[in-house]
């Protein structure tokens, strides 16, 4: 009996000691001493197989570019951004940005397999052909840059499906046709740069539906008709439409209580006579010499000396 009591006392003492140790451990987990979070060694994580194969095929089709890759070592893949998929414990390709990369051939269809892509920037090189309509399938894109190549054809209206897009730059190419009305669906767009192309027709009024748009650069195209002042709906908005064929800028844009600033429209085809009531306005006096002077030869306001 005494032996059993002695064993019971030992077990009880061990139990109390374990409680004390647990209590001490919990006390150390204070805001000043938080528990350590799990550490992920990215070098040991596996890249999604489909993403990896797609990126290799893209390199083979459009490269090699500025820095050559070792296709067997993803750590040499400059410009590639990845994110950890916690559910599958693998990396997904979420971005490819390489500026001045000397790309060639056409935009590889393998990009459409990168379903987690947030950024795609492939300017600089000899890329030719059309911008593919399947680009509208990459609905997680936040940045799309395709400039300084030989891309031609029209801007596919499917780009309007990229509702998360914040930056769209298609510049210094041979893109022609009109600006798609569907760009008015890009409600998160902040920068829209389409300069240095061969775009024609009128600027779509649907751009007024872009509440976050701050920079609109359409200079160096062949845009024509009336400038839609409806899109100038924010005080901080900067609009550059120099060197086009725009023929009309409504005089309401010069009124002192107009919401947005006047657009830059030098090098266009504005003509007619400026009303005396406009010539007296403060906004006209402040902006006209940088916004509407120096029209194309044979054009310009008849009562304004340049």
Q: Quick check: 42 pLDDT over 70?
A: no
To 5 degrees, how large is the angle CA 104–CA 221–CA 203?
Answer: 115
Quick one: average pLDDT of 25-35?
Answer: 42
Confidence of residue 11 (pLDDT cuts 50, 70, 90): very low
Quick one: average pLDDT of 75-81?
Answer: 94
State residue 71's pLDDT score: 93
Confidence of residue 228 (pLDDT cuts 50, 70, 90): very high
Give 276-285 pLDDT, tens digit per residue.
Answer: 999 999 999 9
To 5 degrees, how large is the angle CA 269–CA 272–CA 278?
Answer: 110
Tokens 């023929």 — which residue?
A: 247
State residue 9's pLDDT score: 40
Do the strands 90-97 and 80-85 form a parallel or antiparallel pair, or are they unpaired? antiparallel
CA–CA separation, 214 and 169 (whole Å)? 14
Phi, psi (deg, nearest 5) at residue 41:
-90, 100
Q: Percentage of residues in the chain with pLDDT exceeding 90?
A: 77
Q: What are the residues facing 272 on neighbouring strands?
A: 301
Quick one: average pLDDT of 52-80?
Answer: 92
Give 106-149 pLDDT, tens digit per residue.
Answer: 999 999 999 999 999 999 989 999 999 999 999 999 999 999 99
Q: Quick check: 30 pLDDT over 70?
A: no
State residue 49's pLDDT score: 96
Cis link prior to 64 (omega < 30° from 0)? Answer: yes
**Residue 277: CB atoms within 10 Å:** 11
Which residue ranges form the domains of the chain, and what is each CATH number?
66-248 (3.80.10.10)
Give 152-190 pLDDT, tens digit per residue.
Answer: 999 999 999 999 999 999 999 999 999 999 999 999 999
Quick one: average pLDDT of 65-83?
Answer: 91
**Residue 293: CB atoms within 10 Å:** 16
State residue 41's pLDDT score: 56
Q: Quick check: 204 pLDDT over 90?
A: yes
Q: Quick check: 38 pLDDT over 60?
A: no
> pTM for this one?
0.84
Listing DSSP states for the chain in one string gives: -HHHHHHHHHHHHHHHHHHHHHHHHHHH-BTTBPPPPP---GGGSPBPHHHHHHHHHHHHHH---SS---TT-GGG-TTEEEEEETTTTEEEEEEEE-TT--B-SS--GGGGG-TT--EEE--SB--EEEPPGGGGG-TT-SEEE--SSEEES---GGGGG-TT--EEE--SS--EEPPPGGGGG-TT--EEE--SSEEEEPPPGGGGG-TT--EEE--SSEEEEE--GGG--STT-EEE--SSEEEE--GGGGSTT-SSPPPB-TTS--EE---HHHHTSHHHHHHHHHHT-SPSTT-EETT---
């Amino acid at each position: 009996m005494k032996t059993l009591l002695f064993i019971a006392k030992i077990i009880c003492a061990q139990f109390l000691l374990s409680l004390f140790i647990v209590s001490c451990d919990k006390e150390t987990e204070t805001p000043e001493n938080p528990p350590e979070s799990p550490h992920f060694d990215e070098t040991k994580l596996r890249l999604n197989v489909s993403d990896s194969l797609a990126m290799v095929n893209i390199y083979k089709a459009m490269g090699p570019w500025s820095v050559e890759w070792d296709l067997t070592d993803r750590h040499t893949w400059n410009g590639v951004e990845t994110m950890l998929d916690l559910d599958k414990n693998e990396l997904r390709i979420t971005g490819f940005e390489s500026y001045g990369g000397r790309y060639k051939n056409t935009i590889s269809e393998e990009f459409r397999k990168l379903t987690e892509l947030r950024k795609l920037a492939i300017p600089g090189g000899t890329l030719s052909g059309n911008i593919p309509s399947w680009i509208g399938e990459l609905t997680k894109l936040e940045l799309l840059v395709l400039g300084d190549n030989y891309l031609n054809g029209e801007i596919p209206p499917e780009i309007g499906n990229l509702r998360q897009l914040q930056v769209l730059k298609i510049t210094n190419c041979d893109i022609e046709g009109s600006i798609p009305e569907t760009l008015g669906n890009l409600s998160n767009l902040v920068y829209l740069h389409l300069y240095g192309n061969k775009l024609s027709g009128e600027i779509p009024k649907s751009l007024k539906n872009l509440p976050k748009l701050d920079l609109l650069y359409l200079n160096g195209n062949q845009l024509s008709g009336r400038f839609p002042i409806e899109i100038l709906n924010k005080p901080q908005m900067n609009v550059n439409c120099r060197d086009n064929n725009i023929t009309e800028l409504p005089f309401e844009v010069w009124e002192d209580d107009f919401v947005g600033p006047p657009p830059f429209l030098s090098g266009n085809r504005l003509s007619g006579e400026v009303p005396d009531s406009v010539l007296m306005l403060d906004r006209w006096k402040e902006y006209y010499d940088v916004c509407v002077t120096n029209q194309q030869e044979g054009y310009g306001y008849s009562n304004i000396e340049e």
